[in-house]
Amino acid sequence: MKRLLGCLAVLLVAVAASAQFADPAKDIPTYNAAPPTRALPAIMSGAQLTGPWFAHRYQVTAYKMAATIPAVLHQQPCYCRCDREMGHNSLHSCFESNHGAGCSTCMKEDVYAYRETKKGRTPAQIRGGIERGEWMNIDLDSITM
């Protein structure tokens, strides 16, 4: 019995320790690999971009950027993991509601996608940059369109 308990303890420790070696590249949030085949839900705009969720200029700017590249955002993952918590299917979903305004991850990925689109990058190239974390150092206070 002691051997069995000892083996179970060793197995449990081994399983717990192996989690640190998980491949983060395989844990990519949900996204759509192709452009949309139907009309996407609207990104919030106009008078919707007021109130407590939009107290900072960068929040409104992020939504305006998102509105110019909806098909690109549809093809991007969102690393705030709203796919797990809220059922989102791409970065586009974050800007259909005020969720994007309250999440710096969503806004930074959106700004990154907007800037890279303006440079001529494809959605797949942008997704690669998002997966590598190239969006993380974006300063939201300094964004402009």
Torsion of CA 131, 133, 135, 139, to 10 degrees: 160
Task: Output phi, psi for 63, to 5 deg.
Answer: -70, -40
* Digit-coded pLDDT (tens) for 13-23: 444 444 444 44
Supply the pLDDT for residue 129.
Answer: 97
Each residue's pLDDT tens digit, 49-60: 999 999 999 999
pLDDT at residue 67, rounded to an integer: 98
Place of tokens 């640190």: 20
Mean pLDDT lowest for which of 2-11, 35-44, 94-103?
A: 2-11
Q: Over the range 8-17, which residues count as b (16 or more CB within 10 Å of their CB) and which as e?
A: eeeeeeeeee
| Residue 84: band (very low, low, confident or very high) from pLDDT cuts 50, 70, 90 | confident
